[in-house]
Structure 1
Amino acid sequence: MSIQKTIDRTRLGEKLPEMPWYVQQFVDYKLPDLSPSTLLEYVRDYESFFNWLRAEGLSSATAMKEITLEELESLRMENVTSYRLYLTTRTEGTNSRITVTRKLSALRSMFHYLSQIAEDEDFYPLLKRNVMAKIEVKRTNKPKDTAAKLKGKILEEEELLAFIDYIREGYAADVADNKQASYAHAKNKERDASIASLILNSGLRVSEVVNLNIADLDMGNKMLYVMRKGNNDETFKTPVYFRDQARFDMERYLSLRDADYAAPKREKALFLAVPNGQKEGKRMTKRAIQAMIIKYAKRFGKPYLTVHKLRHSFATDYYLQNDIYKTKEQLGHASTETTEIYAHLTDKTMSEAIERRGEET
């Protein structure tokens, strides 16, 4: 099991006792099909909804676990509309359209289970009336729209290599007057360049990078064995290839990993950091990698660049040289519908290239 899955399964186990019994039953039903990370997000969405019900006086429960099925049955369309409005207009933690859609989808999934699948001892549905069945959840992230939002916010062509070089060398000049930043950069530049290079030359997700172990690396064949998102077989790792540039950058990092990060023999993680006040290296966290990329991106002049946009950058570049099916497999997408983003991005890139060529002639 991946590190993140283990953490999320523990958190899920901690939160479930706070939920009503029927939520626990729903989670047990979904556990064979959904990852602990997805189910944890579901439970967090239910927590938000149940707290809102109590705050609005739509439930008399003194705790979330006491909210009854009868109280869910008595909800009206105007209540659901009010909750949607609350999610989009509250002053703290306002949600995007995509987040609101996800939260409503999580509720629809549970209400559907309670009204259509789960039964009481007399074989009647647990929920007699399902108000959420009336809610239409529209798809908000069409590939074409996503591609339009990414335009100008990813690395293209020569920028891929330029960003790696900037992390290794260029950043030092920009922070030369900051001793603390200069020291940290000198210590971590090979590791940081290696991480960015791996994503830009393989398209791995940040969670997949975090979970990598030394044993997952096959440098001779330029291949990694990765625990893919959405794969519930926790014993299987998918082989994922990377380009020669990534091998060059990882070799530089691996040559100093053990010494510079005081790596204990028991630590299997590929990418390490030494936490403040500690002497031994530990597995880098997802948050640390995300913050690291943002730090370099701002100085590089690409403030919108994130670790996930590095993945988009690779995918766009890769798709220009391969078909949609190879790109889908390389990225670990469940459907080519997601991969269509890069078809829209590359169509735009190619049309602009034609225009530039026309201007030159």
Structure 2
Amino acid sequence: MSVQKIADRLKLDEKLPSMPWFVEQFINYKLPDLSPSTLLEYIRDYESFFGWMIVEGLSTATDYKQIQLLELETLRMEDITNYRLHLTTRTEGTNTRVTVSRKLSSLRSLFHYLSQIAEDDDFYPLLRRNIMAKVEVKRMHKPKDTAAKLKGKILEDEELLEFVGYILEGYREDIATNKQALYSYELNRERDACITSLILNSGLRVSEVVNLNLIDLDLNQKLMYVSRKGNNDETFKTPIYFREQAKDEIQTYLQLRETRYRTPKKETALFVARPNGQSSGKRMTKRAIQAMIMKYAKSFGKPYLTVHKLRHSFATDYYLQNDIYKTKEQLGHASTETTEIYAHLTDKTMSEAIEKRTDL
């Protein structure tokens, strides 16, 4: 099990006892099919909804665990509408349309299970009336819309190489007068360039980068074995190739990994950091990698660039030279519908193609 999944499973086990018995039953039913990370999001969504029910007087419970099935069964459409308004208009923590859609989908999954799958001792559904069946959850991520939002916010063409080069050398000039920043940069620049180059030449997710171990890397074959999102077989890792361009940065980093970060032999992580005040290196966190990319991106003149947009940058470049099915496999998408984003991002090739003329 990956590092992130282990952490999320621990949090899930910690939170589950505070939920009503029927939610625990639902989570256990879904556990073989969904990752702990997904189920943890479900629990957080149920905390939000149950907390709102208590505040609004739709439940007599004083905590989540006391919520009753009958209270869910007697909810009206007006209540769901008010909850949606609560999520979108509250002063603190206002949710985006995508987040609201996800929260409602979480509720639909629970209510569907209770009304269509789970049974009581007399073989009747646990929930006789499913109000969420009336709620339409619209798909928010249309590939063309997502592509439009990404325009100008990813790296294109020569920028992919330029950004890695900037991390290796160019950033030094921008922090030349800041001794503390300069010290940190000189310590980590080869590692940071390696991580960036690897993502830009393979399309890995940040969680996949964090979970990489030394043993997962086959430098000669330009291959990594990755725990992919949605794969619930913890013993299986997907082979993912990376481009030749990343090989030099990886080799340079590997030569420094043990000595520069004082990495102990027992540390299996490929990418490590040595936090302030600590004597030895340990696995980098997702947050550290995200902050690292944003730091360089801002100074590079691409303030909207994030780790995930590095993945988009690779995918757009890769799609230009391959078909949608190869792109889907490389990125680990569940369906080509998600991969269609890159078809829209590369529409410029269609406009260029129509202008080309050949003499007959």
TM-score of the superposed pair, with normalisation by structure 1: 0.97
1:96 maps to 96
Offset, 1:57 = 1.0
Instruction: Show the counterpart of 1:330.
Output: 330
Question: CA deviation digits over 1:98-129, x for unaligned, max 9?
Answer: 11100000000000000111000011110111
Counterparts of 2:271 and 2:256 in 1: how far apart (Å)? 11
Closer, same or farther in 2 for the Cα pair 1:350/1:290, shift >3 Å?
A: farther
- State yes or no: 1:220 paired with 2:220: yes
**What is the letter of the counterpart of residue 233 of structure 2?**
D
1:303-346 CA-partner distances (Å, limit 9, x unpaired) = 11000000000000000000111111111111011111111111
Q: What is residue 183 of structure 2 aligned with on the other side?
A: 183
Q: How does 1:149-298 map to 2 (within 5 A)?
A: 149-298=149-298
Partner of 2:131: 131
Corresponding pairs, count:
357
How much does 1:353 deviate? 8.2
Pair 27,316 (structure 1): closer, same or farther in 2 beyond 3 Å: same
Superposed counterparts of 1:73-92, under 5 Å? 73-92=73-92
Give how far 1:251 is off: 0.6
**Amino acid paired to 2:144:** K
Q: Which residue of 2 aligns with 1:22?
A: 22
* Alignment map for 1:347-358 (pairs within 5 Å): 347-351=347-351
1:244-288 CA distance string (max 9 Å, x none): 111111111111110111000000000000122110100000010
Partner of 1:146: 146
Go from structure 1 to structure 2 and tell me whether the alpha carbon gap of 1:353 and 1:304 turns closer, same or farther (over 3 Å shift). farther
2:179 partner letter: K
3-state SS of 2:52 partner: helix
Paired position in structure 2 for 1:117: 117
Q: 1:352 to 1:330 in 2, by over 3 A?
A: same
For residues 117-163 of structure 1, the C-alpha deviation after alignment (integer angstroms, 9 at most, x for no partner) is: 10000111101111111100000101111111111000000000000
How far did 1:350 drift?
Answer: 4.8
AA matched with 2:142: K
CA-based RMSD of the aligned residues comes to: 1.2
1:206-260 CA-partner distances (Å, limit 9, x unpaired) = 0000000000000000000000000000000000000111111111111111011
Residue 316 of structure 1 corresponds to: 316
* Alignment correspondent of 2:307: 307
Task: Give the CA deviation at 1:89.
Answer: 1.1
What amino acid is aligned across from residue 307 of structure 1 in structure 2? V
Q: Where does structure 1 lack aligned partners over 5 or more consecutive residues?
A: none
Give 3-state SS (helix, strand or coil) of 1:340's partner: helix
Q: Give the partner amino acid of 2:261.
A: Y
Q: Distance in 1 between matches of 2:188 and 2:90?
A: 40
Kindly provide the amino acid, as one letter, of the partner of residue 52 in structure 2: W
SS of 1:309's partner is helix
User: Percent identity at matched positions?
Assistant: 76
* Partner-residue secondary structure (3-state), 1:239: strand
* Cα drift, residue 351 of structure 1: 2.5
Query: How far apart are the structure 2 equivalents of 1:138 and 1:93?
Result: 22
Q: Structure 1 stretches (4+) deviating beyond 4 angstroms?
A: 352-355
Q: Distance in 2 between matches of 1:25 and 1:349?
A: 51
The amino acid that maps onto 2:211 is N
Supply the distance in 1 between the matched residues of 2:276 and 2:89 (Cα, whole angstroms).
39
Distance in structure 1 (CA, Å) of the matches to 2:177 and 2:349: 39
Distance 1:352 1:251 in 2: 38
Deviation at 1:349, TM superposition (A): 4.9
